[in-house]
Amino acid sequence: MQGNSRHGSSRAPSRAPSRGGAADAERIAGLLEPAVAALGMDLEDVRISSAGRRRLLRIVVDADGGVSLDDMALASRELSATLDRAAAMGEASYTLEVSSPGVDRPLTEPKHWRRAVGRVVSAPLRSQPGTSATAPDATVTGRVAGADSSGVRIDVDGASREFGYSDLGPGRIQIEFAPLDGYADDGADEEGPDGY
């Protein structure tokens, strides 16, 4: 979802390395975070890059239960208004792009794991001090059954295993191509009497 605004010229703030540096990214994030929180979402990332004479401000938001296109459109309007009121992007034009994290986002925080409950994930295992060393390429793959502030429960081959967050490296959601539980085939793919 994209929103456009006719303001912007400060250096390129970004949490990732960019022309303006991390300080500008933190300044923009600090400005936008309360507005995102008021919408019941979390601000996940802020990036600014140049796109010709315009600048592209990319904002990533997420929430428990995910975010819909309507949520992103609302966030785009609110964040654009917040940026304009504060003149945070200066005088040059910019494009505001609001999106949700994709499935390729690594699961690195408890809230990421909590939002992955029900999904199949794969994560590298870290070796623990005082235990036998874990093979460098050891991973755990299974369905996330639960997550709280101390760790995650993953169903692996029919057995439930608990891991502290320090036991796991960044998790990755695995794409599943099977129908979801509760999906009822209503025959919509079948041909009708006229062959269509």
The tens digit of pLDDT for each residue in 87-120 reads: 887 777 888 999 998 888 899 999 999 999 999 9
Q: Looking at residue 22, which CATH number applies to its domain?
A: 3.30.70.1350
Does position 132 have pLDDT exceeding 60, yes or no? no
Edge-first strand order for the sheet with 139-147 is 159-164, 151-156, 139-147, 120-124, 172-173
Query: Where are any strands of DSSP class E within 31-84?
Result: 42-51, 54-62
Q: Are residues 89 and 33 in the same domain?
A: yes
Verdict on whether the full-model pTM lies above 0.85: no
| Band of residue 177 on the pLDDT scale cut at 50, 70, 90 | confident
Beta bridge partners of 120: 143
How far apart (Å, rounded) are the C-alpha atoms in residues 118 and 1? 26
pLDDT digits (tens, 9 = 90+) for 4-42: 333 333 323 334 433 444 567 688 899 999 999 999 999
Contacts (Cβ under 8 Å, ≥6 apart) of 18: 12, 25, 47, 48, 49
Residue 189 included in any domain: no
Q: Give pLDDT, residue 181.
A: 65
Q: Are residues 7 and 80 in the same domain?
A: yes
The mean per-residue pLDDT over the stretch 57-76 comes to 92
Burial class (CB in 10 A: 0-12, 13-18, 19+), 41: buried
| Band of residue 136 on the pLDDT scale cut at 50, 70, 90 | low
Q: Are residues 94 and 114 in the same domain?
A: no
Q: Are residues 6 and 67 in the same domain?
A: yes
Contacts (Cβ under 8 Å, ≥6 apart) of 54: 8, 92, 93, 94, 95
Residue 161 included in any domain: yes
Residue 192 included in any domain: no
- Containing domain of residue 155, as a range? 110-173
Residue 117 included in any domain: yes
| Band of residue 137 on the pLDDT scale cut at 50, 70, 90 | low
Q: Give pLDDT, residue 12.
A: 32
Residue 16 included in any domain: yes
Q: Are residues 151 and 70 in the same domain?
A: no
pLDDT digits (tens, 9 = 90+) for 41-58: 999 999 888 777 788 889
Q: Are residues 115 and 94 in the same domain?
A: no
Q: Give pLDDT, residue 179.
A: 64
Q: Are residues 9 and 78 in the same domain?
A: yes
Question: Cβ distance 59 to 46 under 8 Å?
Answer: yes
Domain tally, the chain: 2
How many Cβ atoms from other residues are within 10 Å of residue 162's Cβ? Answer: 12
Residue 183 included in any domain: no
Q: Are residues 83 and 49 in the same domain?
A: yes
The mean per-residue pLDDT over the stretch 57-72 comes to 91
Q: Give pLDDT, residue 86.
A: 86
Residue 136 included in any domain: yes
Residue 31 included in any domain: yes
- For the chain, the average pLDDT equals 79
